[in-house]
Amino acid sequence: MTDSTIEKPYKDDSLQLLNRLAREHLHRHVKALIQAVLCMLVVAGSTAALAYMIQPALDHIFFHKDSTMLTLIPIVVIALSFLKGIATYGQSVIMKSIGQRMVMDLQVKLYSHLLYADIAMFNATASGKLLSRFSNDIYMIRKNVTSVITGLARELVTLIALVGVMFYQNFELSMIAMLVMPLALYPMRRLGRRMRKVSRKTQEDLAKYVSHLDDSFQGIRIVKSHANEQGEIKRADNIMNGIFDLLMKAIRIESLPAPIMETLGGLAIALVIWYGGYQVMAGVTTTGAFFSFIAAVLMAYRPLKGLSGVNTNLQEGLAAISRIYEVLDVHPKITDAPTAVPLEIAKGKIEFDNVQFTYEEGKQALKNLSFTAEAGKRIALVGTSGSGKTTIINMITRFYDPEAGSIRIDDQDIRSVTLSSLRQSIAMVNQEATLFDDTIRANIAYGMPNASEESIIAAAYDAAAHDFILALPQGYDTMIGQHGIRLSGGQRQRIAIARAMLKNAPILLLDEATSALDTISEQQIQQALDRLMQGRTTIVIAHRLSTIEHVDCIFVVKDGEIIESGTHADLLKKRGDYAKLYHRQFERQAVLPHQTGLASVV
Ligand SMILES: Nc1ncnc2c1ncn2[C@@H]1O[C@H](COP(=O)(O)OP(=O)(O)OP(=O)(O)O)[C@@H](O)[C@H]1O
Ligand SMILES: [Mg+2]
């Protein structure tokens, strides 16, 4: 299962990433891109023209005192500036909207990818770390995508236009000004690379931070009951201090390009004044042409400085994007086979045939496990904690696939049928009732948006939940809080049972559904469960053996194997493991009437 992890080491692959980004996300925005490029061309053209205008302005107005030009040139300058303003606005809005759309696409893609990911991936990755990819990494991309896209578009185009003017006005002088370019490239590249590394580490640490917060809020009761608030704060502080150091590193890297470019720009201008002045003095060029050239150099200086900043932004963005791609590149293994057909349930017989399964290298959770749950019968799995009972029922829903052996439902291998048809045929009540932060009604009708009000109430009624629901302030419309925090443990379980009732599936999997109940509720629930099990193939994991005395067959699980099977009476007669468990629990219960749960006894 180690390849389910999404954490990968740092790799420098800027070009590959950019290529992939363009391939996967840009093609949807071709029309907008063309509009943006047109705007950019106008910006570039008007910028170049404005720089170029200095020459006729100086030569015609100031030297030749041409009065027509005196009115004409200012009008042209105003018109050009206006045109440039409109085009700048257009390209900025269009490019930013492309950027935001790409971020949105990425976010949607990431979420749907994760919902379809294997359970094993979720086991390997803390939920806080996943959340951080949505919050911190997406934020990082959002923050940088606009500056990179607009920066690149504006600065690069302007720069090219101005360099064009420079070369047109004075080729020799341009070559001299360009001498400093190679000096700029090397430090920019190095800084970019360092930025990417630092940024990546920052994102990783931020993920740790979110994961820690998530942990401590989820476990707030334990934190408080151990009076360990300070301990948690210290842990958080440690992570945050590390992040602060990294952020400072990033700030230092970010702040370097501007002064570097400034110094190099000064150098270029000094060279130009020196050589250009010499040319003017020698009469090789006009003063107007020289000033137009100087204007172009000075104007080029701003986009050049901007571009060097774009590179650090780009590297920050790429660091975050590569973290998103890492998640997108882990493909689920548990998917529909190409030839998958819907599961056809005749009666609901479930067979395990030599099933082997391992969560983590080195320790088999299920070893050559075989058993049959006959159609429409009730079977129970019992055994000590960690013996593999929950694992068995998780295999039936294909949360995991076996390494060897097969599982069949009505003689169809569950790997040959569609996942949706398989999972629609199974209702599951888990060890921990899983509820969502929504109304009671929505929780019962989870995944069944078309369920009628009557059917929801009938399900709640059968689950012995109707009465307590009506006693709540807003009845079925009561919001129950995250994980159903505003309900008691037993109430949560009854909602989960109502959900299974409403699903009305031919196969029912119950994992210790009665653990959180008092005796009266337990009786009610037991009756509710009896109604629920009617006519369905049921596999129930029971910790209190008293609740399963009447099932059709009991399988005793030990270390991932079935070591005994038979009815309650058969197994008692056999005087094996089951008989031992039963007697021990019976004795315990005589001494400790409130003691429940086999797990805590054995
Ligand atoms: N997600 C997981 N990753 C790694 N190992 C796991 C995982 N879930 C269970 N295991 C291991 O697999 C074995 C079987 O676990 P399982 O949850 O099936 O036990 P169980 O019989 O349901 O126990 P309990 O009665 O306590 O609920 C245990 O040794 C457990 O440590
Ligand atoms: Mg279990």
Q: Which domains does the chain have, with CATH numbers?
A: 12-328 (1.20.1560.10), 335-425+507-519+537-571 (3.40.50.300), 431-504 (3.40.50.300)
Q: Over 60: is that where the pLDDT of 270 sits?
A: yes
Nearest CA to ligand 1 atom 22: 390
pLDDT band at residue 1 under the 50/70/90 scheme = very low
Which mutation among 2, 391, 562 tests ligand 1's pocket best, with the greatest number of atoms within 8 A of CB?
A: 391
Cα 549 to middle of ligand 1, angstroms: 25
* pLDDT tens per residue, range 272-300: 888 888 888 888 888 888 888 888 788 88
Q: Over 60: is that where the pLDDT of 418 sits?
A: yes
Q: Which ligand minimizes its atom distance to the CA of 511?
A: 2
8 Å CB contact between 196 and 319: yes
More confident residue, 349 or 180: 349
521: CB partners within 8 A, 6+ apart:
464, 490, 494
pLDDT band at residue 595 under the 50/70/90 scheme = very low
Which mutation among 390, 397, 545, 556 tests ligand 1's pocket best, with the greatest number of atoms within 8 A of CB?
A: 390
Query: Which of 51-65, 82-96, 132-146 bottoms out in mean pLDDT, i.e. has the lowest?
Result: 51-65
Atom of ligand 1 nearest to the CA of 394: 18
- Cα–Cα distance for residue pair 545/523, rounded to 1 Å: 14
- The residues that bridge with 557 in the sheet, in sequence order, are 383, 562
8 Å CB contact between 205 and 239: yes
8 Å CB contact between 147 and 314: no
Cα 394 to middle of ligand 2, angstroms: 10
Cα 491 to middle of ligand 2, angstroms: 20
- Cα–Cα distance for residue pair 539/395, rounded to 1 Å: 12
Which whole number is the average pLDDT over 313-322?
A: 90
Q: Over 60: is that where the pLDDT of 597 sits?
A: no
- The residues that bridge with 381 in the sheet, in sequence order, are 541, 555
Nearest CA to ligand 1 atom 6: 359
Q: Which of 163-167, 175-179, 242-246, 386-390 has the highest mean pLDDT?
A: 242-246
Confidence (pTM)? 0.81
Residue in 213, 276, 287, 261 with CA at minimum distance from that of residue 56: 287
* pLDDT tens per residue, range 489-539: 888 888 999 999 999 899 999 887 555 556 666 777 778 888 888 889 999
8 Å CB contact between 564 and 579: no
- Cα–Cα distance for residue pair 153/35, rounded to 1 Å: 12
| Cα separation values, 237 from 100, 197, 240, 307, 451, Å | 33, 23, 5, 36, 48
- Cα–Cα distance for residue pair 523/11, rounded to 1 Å: 60
Structure tokens at 120: 């094993």
| Cα separation values, 261 from 130, 179, 276, 293, 309, Å | 39, 13, 21, 19, 10
Nearest CA to ligand 1 atom 25: 385
- What would the DSSP string read from start to end of 534-586? TTSEEEEE-SSGGGGTTSSEEEEEETTEEEEEE-HHHHHHHTSHHHHHHHHHH
